[in-house]
Structure 1
Amino acid sequence: MNFVWAFLVGGLICVVGQLLIDLTKLTPARILVLYVVAGVVLSALGWYDPLVDFAGAGATVPLIGFGHLLAQGVMDSVAQSGLVGALTGGFTAAAGGVTASLTAGFLAALLGKSRDQS
């Protein structure tokens, strides 16, 4: 049943994003920023943790989950290191995911062929 809830919650988050693309004049870049900021705000208010407990990866994988990860990293680091943690906590929490995405992009650039998009 956990897989079903993860699929439904993650799918619902994606549907909202697709509706924002289709029904508004927001660009995909602005929607990306909106999702990350929404994850930070919901996490700071303590409203996103119950969703993560309920849906698991369905709530943590989309962009809104990245905002949640950044906020949790900052809050944990501030609790440990004080105000300096506000500057370092997000980087520490997201380091693994950012490294994986940069490495995958680099490998794709090495293995792929570039061509004009005409």
Structure 2
Amino acid sequence: MQAYIMAFVIGGLICVIGQLLMDLTPLTPAHVLVLFVVLGGILSGLGLYQPLVDMSGAGAMVPLPGFGHALVAGTIEEINKIGFWGIFSGAVKATATGITAAVFFGLLVAIVFNPKG
């Protein structure tokens, strides 16, 4: 039960920060998206995001900073396995499933529903 609460609290705080950035600053949703992915990557590279993931699970992995974390963590893991070439393959291997699902479901929704143009 505690894991669910922590996931809700941490994920909710990340979303609240994003909403506040959009409401109180001139940042657009696209700016906030990029900012969160980059911050997730930077915090992961510094070793600060993994403890948050360990504490809250999906609450930290599902929002946008979790994608940046996955990119960096996958790259670091692959560099440790195969060396220099891991720079190019690590991020792709770590995020391929999520990207494939997003493309597939986006296509499915585009086929099923008619846009209001």
Length-normalised TM-score, structure 1: 0.96
Runs of 4+ in 1 over 3 A off after TM superposition: none
Aligned to 1:19: 20
- Deviations along 1:20-47, whole A, 9 cap, x unmatched? 0000001111110100000100000001
- Deviations along 1:44-67, whole A, 9 cap, x unmatched? 000111111111110100000000
Give RMSD over aligned pairs. Answer: 0.7
Aligned to 2:86: 85
User: Which amino acid counterpart does residue 6 of structure 1 have in structure 2?
Assistant: A
**Residue-pair matches, total:** 116
**Runs of 5+ in structure 2 lacking a partner?**
none
**Superposition deviation, residue 115 in structure 1:** 3.0
User: Which amino acid counterpart does residue 7 of structure 2 have in structure 1?
Assistant: A
Aligned to 1:68: 69
Identity of aligned residues (%): 50
Aligned to 1:109: 110
**Superposition deviation, residue 8 in structure 1:** 0.4
Aligned to 2:51: 50
User: Which amino acid counterpart does residue 38 of structure 2 have in structure 1?
Assistant: V
User: Which amino acid counterpart does residue 105 of structure 1 have in structure 2?
Assistant: G
Aligned to 1:35: 36
User: Which amino acid counterpart does residue 72 of structure 2 have in structure 1?
Assistant: A
- Deviations along 1:79-99, whole A, 9 cap, x unmatched? 111111111110110000000
CA separation in 2, counterparts of 1:97 and 1:50? 22
2:98 is the counterpart of 1:97: yes
CA separation in 2, counterparts of 1:115 and 1:62? 28
**Runs of 5+ in structure 1 lacking a partner?**
none
Length-normalised TM-score, structure 2: 0.97
